[in-house]
A and B are shown apart, each in its own frame.
Chain A
Amino acid sequence: GENVEQHPSTLSVQEGDSAVIKCTYSDSASNYFPWYKQELGKRPQLIIDIRSNVGEKKDQRIAVTLNKTAKHFSLHITETQPEDSAVYFCAAKEGYSSASKIIFGSGTRLSIRP
């Protein structure tokens, strides 16, 4: 089955700087990679996703890149703001199986320093 590893587990950046979170996956057939943001005490919410036929996707200050050959994908947040402080989870959907499921990484706690 799929295995997703996420790094770093904690990340602290100065407000205005960029933050990068990286994930690797094991199932080469995986074809869908969502990213979730979970603020303290709140539910996870989808912030961006990418499908395996796309290499990069942007949404304002957030971008995700996918390297299928290396089996890794990354979340990039530019011009970080205090409201970006949260735990971020990457995930990968096992591909080509009727019994596939979405496997989550262990999360990255991002802190934005004022």
Chain B
Amino acid sequence: KAGVTQTPRYLIKTRGQQVTLSCSPISGHRSVSWYQQTPGQGLQFLFEYFSETQRNKGNFPGRFSGRQFSNSRSEMNVSTLELGDSALYLCASSFREATSTDTQYFGPGTRLTVL
């Protein structure tokens, strides 16, 4: 079974631009969670989607948004990029909602650099 995939793997943007990241979960998984990883901050929860509905949201500004499609693929969008948005963005999928205790499987991440 193929693992979680994310595209693109690397992105370079400038301040003020917007960016869209994509995550394809493991086949059959309906939950996709997004995390921001920065040095020293660990993994910060952004949001979770399950069956096309946002189930939960972390403490990030409204510039961060996402959606999930009927095939469970998810996209994350960041508008009006700031230097502090530079990070590794990871998505993770699980069969049931993240509120279950199903294992979350992570993708390789998208490395976003904002200049």
A and B form one complex = yes
Tell me the chain A residues, 88-111 only, with Cβ under 8 Å from chain B: 89, 91, 93, 97-107
Q: Among B42, B56, B90, B105, which residue has its beta carbon within 8 angstroms of that of A101?
A: B56
Q: Among A34, A36, A45, A100, which residue has its beta carbon within 8 angstroms of that of B99?
A: A100
Q: Return chain B residues, CB-CB under 8 Å to A44.
A: 43, 90, 106
Q: A45 vs B90: C-alpha distance in the bound complex, in angstroms?
A: 12
- Interface size on B, as a range, is 20 to 34
State the total of A-B contacts with C-beta under 8 angstroms. 59
Q: Return chain B residues, CB-CB under 8 Å to A31.
A: 101
Q: Among B4, B43, B101, which residue has its beta carbon within 8 angstroms of that of A93?
A: B101
Q: Among A36, A42, A46, A100, which residue has its beta carbon within 8 angstroms of that of B56?
A: A100
What would be 26 A-B contacts, judged by CB atoms less than 8 Å apart? A6-B42, A32-B101, A43-B90, A44-B43, A44-B90, A45-B106, A46-B103, A49-B101, A49-B103, A89-B42, A89-B43, A91-B43, A98-B99, A99-B56, A100-B56, A100-B98, A101-B33, A101-B48, A101-B58, A101-B98, A101-B99, A102-B33, A104-B44, A106-B41, A106-B42, A107-B42
